[in-house]
């Protein structure tokens, strides 16, 4: 019989030298993303979808803001596609490069 050690994702948690980390981090991340996908419908825009992913990332971490960018390597362009916790207009104005 083996003991199971549930380790949640937290910036405040310190794993001691004697602790045995586990690959199992709980089901909360899965539940958040299942909820995200279940709430989508055919009228959801790609920006709304990526905004929801950014929101889920913030819910699962200690971050207050998250942004998602997509790179088009053939055109050597990067563009903002989603954000949570900040105005999208600030990100859309950025012109990062590869």
pLDDT in tens, 15-73: 455 555 555 567 777 888 788 777 777 778 888 889 989 998 898 889 999 999 999 88
Burial of residue 59 (number of CB atoms within 10 Å: 0-12, 13-18, 19+): middle
Q: What is the pLDDT of residue 65?
A: 94
Residue with the bigger pLDDT between 97 and 12: it is 97
Question: Cα 46 to the chain's mean position, in Å?
Answer: 15
């Amino acid at each position: 019989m083996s003991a199971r050690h549930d380790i949640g994702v937290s910036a405040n948690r310190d794993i001691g030298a004697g602790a045995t980390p586990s690959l199992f981090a709980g089901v909360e991340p899965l539940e958040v993303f299942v909820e995200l996908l279940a709430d989508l419908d055919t009228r959801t825009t790609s920006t709304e979808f990526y905004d929801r992913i950014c929101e889920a990332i913030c819910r699962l971490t200690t971050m207050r803001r998250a942004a998602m960018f997509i790179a088009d390597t053939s055109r050597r362009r990067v563009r903002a596609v989603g954000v949570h916790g900040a105005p999208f207009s600030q990100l859309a104005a950025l012109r990062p490069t590869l």
